[in-house]
Chain A
Amino acid sequence: MAILEVRNLSVNYLTDEGTALRAVEGVSFSLEQGRSLGLVGESGCGKTTAMLGILRLLPAEGRIVSGEVVYDGVDLLHVSESEMREYRWGRISIVFQGAMNALNPVRRVGDQIVEAIMLHESVDKRTARGRVDELLGMVGITSERASQYPHQYSGGMRQRAMIAMALACTPNILIADEPTTALDVMIQAQILDLLQKLQKELDLCIVLVTHDLGVVAEICDDVLVMYGGKTAEYASADIIYNESLHPYTQRLLEAFPDVENPASTLASIPGYPPPLDALPPGCRFEPRCHRRKDICAVKSPPLLAVNSGHYVACHPDKGRLNGATNR
């Protein structure tokens, strides 16, 4: 049963000169209760923009051009702003990179969590404070810390506090945007373990946004690989890791160091993602693709359904992709 269905979401950014940069184009996925999604791609591929678009948190220059975001039967893109505010945090919450300033530096951590609770639930302050202690406990932070300021927390702690705050109103979906970037490996593992635990205990749907395929393997049931603002491949984690079809996905997997073969050279993908104001007419990955064909530079590949539940945006080789139908 899908609790969130995103269909054909497209987001543009307007520049000062008035041109529209197509940051996200035609992205679709569906989030099932109890399953988690990993959203993978290089920096600049549009994954955070897509998430911000879902919650309608885009900056002033951002515009949702088309698409539907259906949560529990309601298209969030068409509700009023005040209704949207109820969905934010109460149903879908988001955790940003726990950089120093994701939490307000001049307010106590506990107060900031209380604020979230009081906003969505009609409880008194005392109860809210009790909840804060509970929440912090869930993420392994002692309750005295609630009266401290963010700069008194370590990086990993801040991230955990943000997670605690994100869970304050018992959302169904938690979007974690690069939760482990900028943290050292030990802390990364901690955070991932925590997310996994919360996922199980609270039956939480997590959307994990990251550029690191390795991180996704632990927690996510499904994976959506983005490139240049579009979906490259979308399938279950199993399929992505074992039977991926998109050249980009394959390269990403290759670039990931193999524990069983540490001596093998790390493959990196030469080149850079396409600049948004100079998008190629054909496939956006074509300039860097190791399996490119003539058609790739000319025509943008449609998202093809290979089997049920496996979608790839690539021009099929003859005989390679069987039974492909346009999505």
Chain B
Amino acid sequence: MQRSDYLIRRVFFALATLVVVIGFNFFLFRILPGDPIKSIARSPRLTREAREKLRVDFGLDKPVFFDGERLRKGDVLGAFDTQFTAYVRALLHGNLGISYRSRRDVAEVLAERVWRTVVLVAGAETLALLFGVVLGLVSAWRRGTRLEMTILLWALISWGLPNFFLGIILLLLARGHLPVGGMATPGLKPEHGLAYWADVGRHLILPTLTMAIVYTSSYVLIMRSSVVEVLSEDYILTAKAKGLNTFQILRDHALKNAMLPMVTMVALNLAYTVGGAIQVETVFSWPGIGRLMYDSVQLRDYPILQGTFLLLALSVIVANLLADLLYSVLDPRVKAE
């Protein structure tokens, strides 16, 4: 198929999903019983100005989806002047509302914490991919050996191990040796330069390790079955007949082919990775988006919750799109006219 065709389709799909997510987000928070916005708009905890701002920004005095009255009067455009459109408009302006707790701009809070999660997830995924690819390759090549069995067994167990529990185990084990909570030792600040960043690094070790271990296992399994699949293909036999040795065959022929499904796997995994980040950040009190989501659930800080969800869903959608793009670049068969 034409690569550009394929990509256009994927972009459309991503956009459509985004629209669905936005609609769903809105629906969820406004329609379900116990509408938080409405009740909070009346909450005495917010200042008068804040309440007014909410009312105006989110059009709380207007109908939710559709203004039947104005439509009947012939005012088609006006019929869409509803809470939903107000919400979308606010969204497009980067306005995600105000936190109930801190009364700060939701967008601001998110922006502040995003990079912390990104660092965590990126580090964990990189480690996991590295180990996953290598171990998967090894276990596929050395089938039927004890090594393969060990790797498989461990992968199987990790599959049934919830992220947060692994975190707890590591926390108990490492306590006293590695920092187990927060992002930095109290007292250290960015102004302290290298000492600070090194400290942050040390705090990052356990959460990253926890996530990496869990994700390695799924990558190992995928890589392994992918390599097994590839090794049974004809061109591997051709390569061997040409006189290539094992290492050359694995490196020059098997690896690239076996890794193609991994790309889509990473993307697919992202939906789960995000869930894992929430759990791990909670266990280790790592102040990222995941922890933010947890806190906002506990504190019933709905605007934050809503904004976080939107951000997470958006990142997964975008990441999937990027993975599709990457796949189409890597697999020459997709380029064909």
Contacts and interface: CB of A to CB of B under 8 A. Distances in A.
Please tell me whether chains A and B touch each other in their complex, using a CB distance cut-off of 8 A.
Answer: yes
Interface of A: 55, 57, 60, 82, 85-90, 93-94, 96-97, 99, 101-107, 115-116, 119-120, 149, 151-152, 162, 165
B44 to A, nearest CB: 65
B234 A101 contact: yes
B45 interface: no
Contacts of B333: 105-106, 149, 151
Contacts of A102: 234-235, 238
A89 B241 contact: yes
Contacts of B328: none
Given A85-B243, A104-B257, A149-B332, A115 B252 contact: yes
Contact of B332 (A93, A97, A106): A106
Contacts of B35: none
A120 B243 contact: yes
Contacts of A120: 243
Interface of B: 143, 233-235, 237-245, 252-253, 256-257, 260, 330-333, 336
A53 to B, nearest CB: 13
Contacts of B336: 151-152
Contact of B253 (A86, A104, A162): A104
Given A57-B240, A106-B331, 12 more contacts: A55-B241, A82-B245, A96-B234, A99-B234, A101-B235, A104-B253, A106-B256, A106-B257, A106-B332, A149-B332, A151-B336, A165-B242
Nearest to A93: B241
Nearest to B330: A106
21 contacts: A57-B241, A85-B243, A88-B242, A89-B241, A93-B241, A96-B238, A97-B234, A101-B234, A103-B238, A104-B235, A104-B238, A104-B253, A104-B257, A105-B257, A105-B332, A106-B330, A107-B252, A116-B242, A119-B242, A119-B243, A149-B332
Contacts of A165: 242
A96 B336 CA distance: 25
By Cβ-Cβ distance, the 10 closest A-B pairs, closest first, are: A88-B243, A85-B243, A104-B235, A102-B234, A101-B234, A89-B243, A149-B332, A116-B242, A89-B242, A101-B233
Contacts of A60: 143
Contacts of A57: 237, 240-241
Contacts of B235: 101-105
B54 to A, nearest CB: 55
Nearest to B260: A106
